[in-house]
Amino acid sequence: MGIVTIVMIKSFIVNLLLSILKLITGFISKSYALIADGVHSFSDLITDIIAIIGSKLSNIPADEKHPYGHGKLEYVTSLIIGAIICILGITLINNAFNNKYESIEYIVIIVSIFTIIIKFILSRYILKKGISLNNNILIASGKESSMDVISSIVVVISSFLMLLGKYNKIFLFSDMIAAIIIGLFIIRTGFKILMENLSIILEEQETNKEYIDNIKKVILKNKYIKNIDKLVLLKFGSYYKLICEVSMNPNISVLKAHNQLDEIENRLSEFDNKIKYKTIHVNPYKKEKNL
C-alpha cells in the first residue's frame, strides 16, 4: 500500500467520525450552520475516496498509447474533487435561505471547537505529506481540509451570536449567514482547485527557479556541455518530463555525444528520481572549434 493511499485512508477515517459528530449534533441542536459544516466534512469523505482512486490510476505504468505513463489522471481526479466542492457550496447556500432558525445550544460550540483542533492537525499533516511527495491529490485534499477548519470557526462565532437571540431576534440570522459564508468558502476552494489543475492539464511547466537552477547545475557538470539552450520541465502528476536542448562541441563524434547524454540522464535520475522522462537534444556549439 502506497504512502498516498495510507494518508488518504487516515483522512477518510477522521472525516467520517467528524462528519457524523457534526451532523448528529447539528440536527439535535437545530443548528443549520453546524449541519452545513458536517456536510462539508462529509464532502471530504467523497474527495478522499476519489483521491485514493486517482492515486491508484496515476501510478498505472506506461503503455503503447501512453508512453509517458498515466500521471495526468491525478489532475483529472483533482478536477472532479474541485467540481464536487463547488456543487456542494452552491447547494448549501441555496438551502440556507429555506430554513427556520432558532436559539442555539452550548453543545454546538463545544463540538465546533473540538473539530477545529482535530481538522487543523489533519490538514497540516495532509499538506505536509502532499508537499514532500509532490502529490497534487494530497495537496488538494489538504487545502479542502484547511477550509473545513475555517468553516468550523465561523460556526463557533455564529453560535455565540445565536446565544444573543433571546435578547434580539436579529442575532438568530447569524446561523443562516454562517451557513452562507461556509458555502462561499467551499465554492472558493473548489474553484481554485479547478483552475490550478486545468492549467496543469494544459501542459503547465515547473516554475520553481531554485529547482530548475539545480537541474541546470547537474547538466553543466558534464565538461562537454557548453551551454543549455532550452530547458522545460513538464508536470505529469508526481513526476516530470524534461525537454532540454544543450550545445556541444561540433567536433566530437555522434557516439561520444550519445554517451555523454546517457551520463547526464543518469545524473539527473540520481539528483531526483521524479524526473522520470528525459528528452535531450544536442545543438552544435558554434563558438568552439576544439575540445
pLDDT of residue 291: 41
Q: Bridge-partner residues for 247, per DSSP? A: 227, 283
Give dist(CA 95, CA 265) in Å, integer. Answer: 56
> Per residue in 123-153, is it b (16+ CB within 10 Å) or e — as a string?
bebbbebbeebbbbbbbbbbbbbbbbbbbbb
Grid coordinates of 99: 430554513
Across-strand partners of 239? 236
Under a CB-based contact definition with an 8 Å cutoff, are residues 180 and 93 in contact? Answer: yes
Q: What is the pLDDT of residue 42?
A: 76
β-bridge partners, 228 = 246
Residue 54 makes CB contacts below 8 A (sequence gap 6+) with 73, 74, 76, 77, 78, 80, 137
pLDDT score at 114:
92
Per DSSP, 169 falls in state G
CA distance 100 to 115: 25
As a 3-state breakdown, the chain gives helix, strand, coil percent values, each rounded to 5, of 70, 10, 20
pLDDT (0 to 100) of residue 117: 92
pLDDT lower than 50: segments of the chain = 288-291
Kindly give the pairing relationship between strand 275-284 and strand 239-248: parallel
Identify any residues that bridge with 231 across adjacent strands, giving them in sequence order: 244
The helix/strand/coil state of 240 is strand
Domains of the chain with bracketed CATH: 3-201 (1.20.1510.10), 209-284 (3.30.70.1350)
